[in-house]
Structure 1
Amino acid sequence: MSVNKVILVGRLGADPESRATPSGLQVSNLRIATNHVAYDRDGGKNESTEWHRVVFFGRQAEVAEQYLRKGSQVYVEGRLRTNKYTDRDGIERYATEVVGERLQMLGGRDDTQSSGGDAGWGGGSSRGRDDSFGSSGGFEDNSRPMPGSGGAPRSQGSSYGGGQQQSAPKKNIDSFDDLDDDLPF
């Protein structure tokens, strides 16, 4: 068994770059920045930014082009793909990108840094507002069946919390007496 799964939460560094293939399939390329914070032994804060290339196809690409702008915060699920190509000097190069399978818009109406950032956003209060481009709270590629589903396509249920949620059972913290005091950290 193997797993090729990527989950990113970050912001777009530029507007999506979109095009159509000769067959008419829409393709959108996104550049997403994620941040990492680490502390050294002296307590100093070291921040770094990692840039990710993400490509969406079909309806997801259309949605990205229509609603996303530089500065938009997004949640992306996908898989890694490495492409091999030859550059202008005849040298073989490799480029790794994320092939997006799920796209979720995060943040609110004024979350983007560019003008026109409210195009397509729902109205109303922040609690009742659906800040997504679909009623499910996100956009998934439902054309492929889920593993173990017997070939049935994925349902488009909400992962954003738009549906009814069940509360987690409350646990008594004092009942956790199985903690190991010899932890290595």
Structure 2
Amino acid sequence: MMNRVILVGRLTKDPDLRYTPSGVPVATFTLAVNRTYTNQQGEREADFINCVVWRKPAENVANYLKKGSLAGVDGRIQTRNYEGQDGKRVYVTEVVAESVQFLEPKGAGGNRNEGGSFGGPRDDFYFGQDRSQNQRSNYTRADEDPFANGSSSIDISDDDLPF
């Protein structure tokens, strides 16, 4: 048998961190994952998938991810049920994350050099080319923000966002 899920999407709201009575951290969040096709109106739809992560990764998710953050989740699907306050049986399907990857730099759009330069110890090295070759070829380094100079803006309406 196999039960494996890999998702990449954006958080629809800030993660919710709680602790069990025995002190084990657990974070819950919902990922908006775009579908690969568009509907008849040409709009891309999204699935909203509930995720749960436990222990230290739960604390990391709560501390470093927020609404709109891009994240990758590797885990398994779990179903459970319980009796609701109205006496009816409630069924829940969620992804239990074994690993959550933060796919954007902290503060997305801020300083991209927080983790060091992409090329390693030599800051002017990029895929075997020096900085002057990159500039002449109009390449953008992986650790440089092309929007840092503020000369261009991106106009995205709230209706275009899946969260």
TM range (shorter): 0.5 to 0.7
Deviations 1:73-122 (A, max 9, x none): 0011000110111112211121100000011100234438xxxx98xx86
- Asked if 1:60 corresponds to 2:57, the answer is yes
Q: Provide structure 2 residue ranges, at least 5 long, that are not aligned to the other structure.
A: 121-163
Aligned to 1:23: 22
Taking only aligned residues, the RMSD between alpha carbons, in angstroms, comes to 2.6
- TM-score, scaled relative to structure 1: 0.58
Structure 1 residue 37: Cα displacement = 3.8
| Counterparts of 1:122 and 1:58, CA distance in 2 | 29
Matched residue pairs, number?
120
Q: Provide structure 1 residue ranges, at least 5 long, that are not aligned to the other structure.
A: 130-185
Q: How has the CA–CA distance of structure 1 residues 54 and 78 changed in structure 2, closer, same or farther, with 3 Å as cutoff?
A: same
- Tell me which of the two structures has the higher relative contact order, counting C-alpha pairs closer than 8 angstroms and 6 or more residues apart: 2
Structure 1 residue 23: Cα displacement = 0.4
Q: Is the 8 A contact 1:37 1:46 kept in 2?
A: no
Aligned to 1:145: none
Q: Is the 8 A contact 1:14 1:31 kept in 2?
A: yes
| Counterparts of 2:38 and 2:21, CA distance in 1 | 49
Matches within 5 A, 1:1-185: 2-39=1-38, 45-111=42-108, 123=114, 127=118
Deviations 1:33-76 (A, max 9, x none): 00114257x8x624111101110100110111111111110011
Q: Is the 8 A contact 2:64 2:106 kept in 1?
A: no
Secondary structure, counterpart of 2:61 in structure 1: helix
